[in-house]
A and B are shown apart, each in its own frame.
Chain A
């Protein structure tokens, strides 16, 4: 009995590892071509191979030496970091209200939140530029070509699908825990901060990661609002190498993309223990 079960256990283990590796192969093989491009001296995407004929570090060298690449990286971390942390807090606040309070306009607000996010943002860009430009005439630190201004714009998307997502999660957290805190004399806000937020750690971490990556790769708004290479975020900075039809410098772009991706992976690696640290349950158990 015990040995049979152990055999099945091993078979399963093997299968799972195998499946994981198949998935990783699917995930990585296009990515490896990006890596290949970054080492390819020809700067051409079409000639890309996984391992170039004459690999070179020239793109990385030029990127770090001749361009303010580290500044771009720093700007990205600053903008994406602040935005994602503030977003997660705003989102959690909203989600808590939607989950715990019953008030007039609740259903309408929830619905509006979802609907509003579905608007195609084609011309919204112009409006945002003009708004920020006007704002900047009165509050220069918050105008066009400032990082606080860009963060402000990004925070517009803070309440949205993520609020719904968190609300769903909060709904599954038993109320009894907060109620006991309320009995002890805490305000609802204190209960929220001290009881609910710690319990919601996985979802907070997920939203931080998602938001960070979204902002990290956002290009349109950042390119319209930021001017001057020292202000650029990574996605805008790298785009300097593209855009002149057949003269795109993919090698440089790929080198920057690879370095940026390493940053994202590091962030995710660091945060993932938070994501799977669900306190409310063990999830799928064998």
Chain B
């Protein structure tokens, strides 16, 4: 019995040593290749792994490490990225790094007047291109795949009908033999006079002049035709007369996006109104849906119910359908003229409810739809959590003469909340930011005022979306990110209140 762990320990140690050896081997290779980022990552990872497996104090983290690793990579890193973007000007027109923008601008071409084209023929063996022969009206060249231009007289050419049959002994390639090889020459700019030659089509090279030249010393761009000088300003090249060139580039702007939010009433004008509805929306949705889910879980946990397996399966149907279609079906129900609800109400009672047109009813409709969408989740979770409640507790309560309602409030509910309350907080956070549902059902409508971008049912996230993507010039991802960060801080603040309770719950559970 004692030997087994010993063997296990040795095996573990051996494996770790082997892995470490491999890591060292890799690191050497990475260093050789100059892939320093990989070197750092691999070495850091290995060190962390060793610490985890060798240190006693890190023992609990052995259980946490795998999950935390994925969390860090796929949740925390994107979070950091969002925060970073919120400090930049990342938006339509400013998506690329500066060097990319400069590259695109300096590669802008002018076709000289008159245009010059060089039809070509190719030479080599199938699968390998030796050279091209460019015919430029008395100015012919031999062009090698590496971009070298050479005068025809330096080469052995056998002509027939004005076109070489072979070059340096290599025969002419045609059609499907030639095109895939020629395609590899795309993107190559062969310096020629004051511009360059490049593959224009599969049969011709063309001569092009640059529209702009970049002066790295002055960090300016000069228009070759007009001589206009563009200097960088706010992420774009701008001429003295105010003309700005597309594309611009990404640069950090410090707190500018946040400042804009607090300064410009367009951004924060409706914030409080939206926030209050947002909280109400999340709280009411979660409360109703949990109440319904829990009630159904209790109902269906009853062993006496014959068909409960079937019942349960049918009840999770809303969860199994894509919200994308079911929400739109609900939207059709709510339609004022032809919706199922109003047609029924009208034929029975002669009334029509302005489901999505009136502020109150639009909010009501949203919550109703969300309860339908989410109660199966609550039911599942409650069903699972119910299984953890020891039966003896009920017996004890029964002996004490507690009725079923008292048993529920004093035994079931408190115990259930231990495991379920974090999920409720999670649901709250999810609902708080449930952009998709709002977007599909009401788009934030009904409209309250023109151009404030916040309708009566907009939540902070949909409001932020409208602010960021109905901006002055296409999409302002940087502003969207800043708003996302602000919303995150708000959600934390609101949820903070609930955390105090989870601590209390944990104390309760420890007593068990």
What is A's interface to B at a CB cutoff of 8 Å? 13, 16-17, 19-20, 23-24, 26-28, 30-31, 33-34, 37, 45-46, 48, 90-91, 93-94, 96-98, 101, 103-104, 106, 109, 111, 113-128, 131, 138, 152-161, 163-169, 171-173, 185, 187, 202-203, 205-207, 209-210, 213, 217, 219, 235, 238-239, 242, 250, 253-254, 257, 260-261, 264-265, 268-269, 272-273, 275-278, 280-286
Contacts and interface: CB of A to CB of B under 8 A. Distances in A.
Contacts of B54: none
B484 A123 contact: yes
Interface in B44-60: 57, 59-60
Given A168-B418, A265-B313, A283-B387, A103 B481 contact: no
Contacts of A171: 418-419, 506, 509-510, 512
B132 interface: no
A115 B465 CA distance: 22
B39 to A, nearest CB: 13
Interface size range of chain B in the complex:
35 or more
Given A93-B63, A168-B422, A34 B321 contact: yes
B38 interface: yes
B82 A119 contact: yes
Interface string B68-82: 101101111111111
A45 B326 CA distance: 10
A285 B398 CA distance: 10
Interface stretch (B112-120, B142-150, B375-383): B375-383
B89 interface: no
Interface string B476-512: 0100110010011001100100010000011001101
A93 B388 contact: no
Contact of B320 (A169, A264, A275): A264
Given A30-B330, A122-B481, A156 B73 contact: yes
Contacts, number: 331
Given A168-B509, A171-B509, A119 B383 contact: no
Given A111-B499, A118-B488, A213 B385 contact: no
- Overall SS of chain A's interface: helix
Given A155-B70, A281-B390, A164 B333 contact: no
B326 A30 contact: yes
A34 B325 contact: yes
B70 A158 contact: yes
Contact of B433 (A20, A120, A202, A205): A120
A67 B300 CA distance: 39
Chain B CB within 10 Å — which of A48, A213, A238, A281 has the most?
A281
A106 B81 CA distance: 26
A31 B318 CA distance: 7
A254 B380 contact: no
Interface stretch (B213-221, B238-246, B301-309): B301-309
Contacts of A125: 78
Contact of A20 (B299, B324, B488): B299
Chain B CB within 10 Å — which of A19, A121, A185, A276 has the most?
A276
Contacts of A213: 319-320
Contacts of B323: 217
A205 B376 CA distance: 15
Given A16-B302, A165-B422, A281-B388, A28 B317 contact: yes
Given A48-B332, A90-B66, A281-B392, A31 B78 contact: no
A285 B391 contact: yes
Given A27-B315, A161-B426, A19 B299 contact: yes
B298 interface: yes
A117 B393 CA distance: 34
Interface string B366-403: 00000010001100110111111111111000000000
Chain B CB within 10 Å — which of A96, A109, A278 has the most?
A278
Contacts of B75: 116-117, 119, 124, 156-157
